Amino acid sequence: MNDSREPLPEAREICFPGSRHRWLLYHFSTLDSTNDFLHRRTDSLPDRSVVTTDVQTAGRGRMGRSWISPPGGLYFSFLLSPGPSPDFAPRLGLLVADLVCDLLEESGIPGQVKWPNDVVVGGRKMAGILPECGNHPQPWMIVGLGMNLAGIPGHTDSRGLVPSHWGAFSDAPEPMAILRDILGRLDASWPDRNLDPLQGRLASIGSRLWCRGQLVRMIRGPETFTGTVSGVAPDGCLILATSAGMKTFDSGELRPV
């Protein structure tokens, strides 16, 4: 397992036309978790550091779920330090999911945004995004992404989402090509971290929202709500039309009825 005392590989600089900033890319053959690796380095790595790996041995998603990460996928996380407002974390997850859908659409693959942080195709999970934030030694935000490209882990997660992969629909690009594409789109769509990540993206996310217009269950702790997916609010909350009227949710687990 890598920790903060392990030497870093040489960084590669990635710059995009029109961007005032650069990304610093560190690539590993194996890591426990790209998000966890950055957690251990928030006091030493510079802003806009990107860590990618061929394999994760302890990849994870929301609520402590494991993310199985075999060879052939794309697994990376980036660090923003100082980070934007913590309120932006869920919104940034939605933005990255929508940018992934842009990329898929250009290859003829109809991706959907499953609130709050997944990308699904045909009801099957292809990618997951994990935003996290903290305050030590200064405010920071980490966003991780895992995407199935050439194969699938071969399991169904606890929510019943069957995995899928890019190669089931068309030839998948190389992982590094997708990584560069996502970072470039992020720079173009969100040039200033003081700006709302969802500015100008709500209509796109709403049109791609998984189960929009369908009856779903929202599980939040011991409570379960039933309603029809109506859209996403400007703050990133999910809007459900319930028998008691419109309700918004800032957290929870969305499942079809």
> Where residue 243 sits, what CATH number does that domain have?
2.30.30
Query: Based on the domain organization, do 193 and 248 belong to the same domain?
Result: no
Query: Based on the domain organization, do 236 and 151 belong to the same domain?
Result: no
* Domains held by the chain: number: 2
Query: Based on the domain organization, do 76 and 159 belong to the same domain?
Result: yes
User: From the DSSP assignment, how many helices (H) and strands (E) are in the chain?
Assistant: 4, 13
**Looking at the domain assignment, is residue 149 inside a domain?**
yes
Asked whether 95 and 201 are in contact (CB, 8 A), the reply is yes
Query: Based on the domain organization, do 202 and 221 belong to the same domain?
Result: no
Instruction: Tell me which residue range forms the domain holding 73.
Output: 12-207
**Looking at the domain assignment, is residue 1 inside a domain?**
no
**Looking at the domain assignment, is residue 2 inside a domain?**
no
Query: Based on the domain organization, do 80 and 128 belong to the same domain?
Result: yes
**Looking at the domain assignment, is residue 92 inside a domain?**
yes
For residue 31, what is the domain's CATH number? 3.30.930.10
Query: Based on the domain organization, do 219 and 184 belong to the same domain?
Result: no
Query: Based on the domain organization, do 189 and 243 belong to the same domain?
Result: no
Sheet holding 74-80, edge to edge: 12-15, 22-31, 49-56, 74-80, 140-147, 124-134, 118-121, 111-114
pTM exceeds 0.85:
yes
Provide the 10 A C-beta neighbour count for residue 246: 12
**Type and span of the H or E element at 218:** strand 215-220
Tens digit of each residue's pLDDT, the chain (257 residues):
444 456 789 999 999 988 889 999 999 999 999 999 999 999 999 999 999 999 988 766 555 556 666 778 999 999 999 999 999 999 999 999 999 999 999 999 999 999 999 999 998 999 999 999 999 889 999 999 999 998 766 444 555 577 888 988 999 999 999 999 999 999 999 999 999 999 999 999 999 999 999 999 999 989 999 999 999 999 999 999 999 999 999 999 999 88
Query: Based on the domain organization, do 237 and 171 belong to the same domain?
Result: no
Alpha-carbon span 141 to 58, nearest angstrom: 20
Query: Based on the domain organization, do 112 and 236 belong to the same domain?
Result: no
Query: Based on the domain organization, do 142 and 243 belong to the same domain?
Result: no
Query: Based on the domain organization, do 85 and 149 belong to the same domain?
Result: yes
**Looking at the domain assignment, is residue 230 inside a domain?**
yes
145-173 burial, b at 16+ Cβ within 10 Å, e below that, comes to bbbbbbbbbeeebeeebebbbbebbeebb
Query: Based on the domain organization, do 153 and 235 belong to the same domain?
Result: no
